[in-house]
Amino acid sequence: MGKLVWLASYPKSGNTWLRAFLHAYLSDARAPVPLDRLTELTTGESGAALYRRHDPRPAHCYSVAEVMRLRPLVHRDIMGGDAARVFVKTHNAAIRVAGVPLMTPEVTDRAIYVLRDPRDVAISYSAHLGMALDAVIGLMARDAAVSGGDDDKVLEFIGSWSRHVDSWTVAPPQKLLVLRYEDLLADPVDGFGDVVRFLGAAPDAGRLRRAIGFSDFAALSAQERACGFAERPAGARGAFFRAGVAGQWRTMLSAAQCRRIERDHAAPMRRFGYIG
């Protein structure tokens, strides 16, 4: 029986990019994979429909304890009887809630964690949520931050950027590959080659380069302009694939905003080379 491979990140850190690469590489695609087909290979674990199989009430009625009682059942459903691994996107922190781990250990194989400079995350997340930058910077420092909890998605327990990063990367309970967004931009052949190796295969050079090309920012952005993207929130400012670059914080954040982020998240930023 297969097990789950978690594709984990704080929001707006490159998770969809990773999913697009995996779909293109594992399917040996010869053309860009349509965005609406990403769920054929990678799935989410917070969609309310998954939980209604076990509790038919509207998902906004679920208490925290009820969501956590259902979550392991949903993870087992996702695993199913397939002999292959199943790739599951999550923005949850790797913590326990109501005594239950958000990633069910018994059905977990390994995890890939993508992180991004929180100063750039703040800019992208602000546009994604349609919220002011200062409000998002405050949200990123809140250990109790959640999303969802409506009839489309059950609660996701995101927490602060620091808590999220530490929960996944400090003494992880499963096999883990950590990728920095900035390193993937600088050398995608090396970074995405590591993804293939982490999954137990030697990268095929031609297949790797095709998959990188089909999943780069220009290709994904062109698809969104042509066909839209269902994962773009209704209240977002601009496109889901907004810029796809590193270092925008240098011109788009004030000195005070930079200082606040660096103060709030100093330890993990230092550990991953974002500040000295």
Instruction: Please give the sequence-ordered ranges of beta strands (E in DSSP) within 4-91, or none if there are none.
Output: 4-9, 42-44, 86-90
| DSSP 8-state secondary structure symbol assigned to residue 207 | H
Locus of tokens 């100093």: 266
Largest CA distance in the chain: 53
Which pairing describes strands 108-115 and 4-9: parallel, antiparallel, or unpaired? parallel
Separation of alpha carbons 186 and 202, rounded Å: 21
pLDDT at 263: 98
Chain segment 74-113, per-residue pLDDT in tens: 999 998 866 578 999 999 999 999 999 999 999 999 999 9
Range of the domain at 259: 4-271
Which pairing describes strands 156-157 and 175-180: parallel, antiparallel, or unpaired? unpaired
Q: Is residue 276 part of a domain?
A: no
Which residues of the chain carry a pLDDT beneath 70? 1-2, 81-83, 219-243
Separation of alpha carbons 72 and 67, rounded Å: 9
pLDDT at 37: 75
Work out the number of other CB atoms within 10 angstroms of the CB of residue 73: 15
Q: Is residue 245 part of a domain?
A: yes
pLDDT at 215: 82
pLDDT at 218: 72
Q: Is residue 244 part of a domain?
A: yes
pLDDT at 220: 67
Q: Is residue 48 part of a domain?
A: yes
Cβ contact 84:199 at 8 Å: no
Q: What is the CATH number of the domain that holds 94?
A: 3.40.50.300
Residue whose C-alpha is closest to residue 244's, from 13, 9, 11, 8: 13
Residue whose C-alpha is closest to residue 29's, from 206, 241, 227, 190: 206
Separation of alpha carbons 122 and 261, rounded Å: 9
Q: How many domains does the chain have?
A: 1
Q: Is residue 204 part of a domain?
A: yes
